[in-house]
Amino acid sequence: MQSLPATMQAIEITEPGAPEVLKILQRPLPHIKEDEVLISVHAAGVNRPDVMQRTGLYPPPPGVTDIPGLEVSGIIVSVGAQVSDWNVGDSVCALVAGGGYAEYVNAPESQCLPIPKGLTYREAASLPETYFTVWSNVFDRAKLAEKETILVHGGSSGIGTTAIQLCRALNRKIFVTAGSDEKCRACEAIGATQAINYRSEDFAERVMALTDNKGVDVILDMVAGEYIHRDLKCLADDGRIVIIAFLGGVKTNLNMTDILKRRLTITGSTLRPRSTKFKSKIAVSLREKVWPLLASRVIEPLIFKSFPLQNAAEAHSLMESSQHIGKIILDIRNQ
């Protein structure tokens, strides 16, 4: 077993605030539990929950490190006593509850996945958070079935581009919203059935026109707030809204009449605080049903830009600008 350093470089949130509160410093290496592995991180994904944590709106669950970062790729350098599926030297990507913005991170062995054949560490780091989120909410929670249709808000985001490619590969019709004509065309280029510029069109009216006034069966909503009213207008009978974030606010007033009459469902979830057992089941589904699509390049990771670890503040500024199409990555040993 290779000799490991006592400390590592990591990003710390020095106080809640703007991107500039992200600072690089030295931290002790994480200790691994018996069912965990220690990963030498090559790249880490940047996600909206990281931004929310930085601003004080999404603290880590109890017992989880304050270092941000929910997805990584790299090489396993140490394994716990009960680990049976992985060995030192294995290349993996992993979903973690925190700690990804660092040179080393610990991860439950069951939340690790092999890097699909042909993918770089940078590409692999873009996978776990978005694919775990999309699969668990679209296919497990909302149960999007064959011949059903889905509307995804934020089509050009990491979540959105993942949902587009996955639904296209599994033969589901997908509509998305995005904030510019350029973003709409980019979404359609990777498989969206139709992309709607929410700044110039009423997405509810447009969806109804596109579905012959039937509406969509599922809506994946990361905006919430007042969007929920318009979501209900373009939802089919027995339709389901799944809320995964609340960029538009945490409160709204609803008229329950349509919900009762048309048997509509409004649900939601957040992945980070869920149990390892829950996340492990998603990992099994992804490895069986999605990883072959990545290996065969039916689905391709969409990386917008990468930054060195010490430039995490710039990565967060880009995330908040919403100018990106696809994923933002931190390069740690992958430069």
- Please give the Cα distance from 139 to 286 (Å, whole number): 11
Does residue 188 sit in helix, strand or coil? Answer: helix
Tokens 């909302």 sit at which residue? 142
What was the pLDDT predicted at 2? 64
Length of the chain: 335
Quick check: 219 and 242 in contact, CB under 8 A?
yes
Q: Which amino acid is at 162?
A: T
| pLDDT tens digits along 11-44 | 999 999 999 999 999 999 999 999 999 999 999 9
Which domains are delineated in the chain? 7-127+295-331 (3.90.180.10), 131-268 (3.40.50.720)
Residue with tokens 């007033």: 253
What is the gyration radius of the CA atoms in the chain, in angstroms?
A: 20
CA 221 remoteness from chain centre: 13
Sheet holding 265-268, edge to edge: 194-197, 173-178, 149-152, 216-221, 235-243, 265-268
First to last CA, the chain: 25
Identify whether the C-beta of residue 71 lies closer than 8 Å to the C-beta of residue 100. Answer: yes
pLDDT tens for residues 141-182?
999 999 999 999 999 999 999 999 999 999 999 999 999 999
What are the pLDDT tens digits along the chain (335 aa)?
568 999 999 999 999 999 999 999 999 999 999 999 999 999 999 999 999 999 999 999 999 999 999 999 999 999 999 999 999 999 999 999 999 999 999 999 999 999 999 999 999 999 999 999 999 999 999 999 999 999 999 999 999 999 999 999 999 999 999 999 999 999 999 999 999 999 999 999 999 999 999 999 999 999 988 999 999 999 999 999 999 998 888 898 888 998 999 999 999 999 999 999 999 999 999 999 999 999 999 999 999 999 999 999 999 999 999 999 999 999 998 65
Distance of CA 173 to CAs 65, 151, 192, Å? 39, 9, 8
Write the secondary structure of 232-260 as one string of H (helix), E (strand) and C (coil).
HHCEEEEEEEEECCCCCCCCCCCCCHHHH
**Burial readout 17-39 (b: 16 or more C-beta within 10 A, e: otherwise):** eebebbebeebebbebeeebbbb
**Cα–Cα distance between 112 and 331 in angstroms, integer?**
19
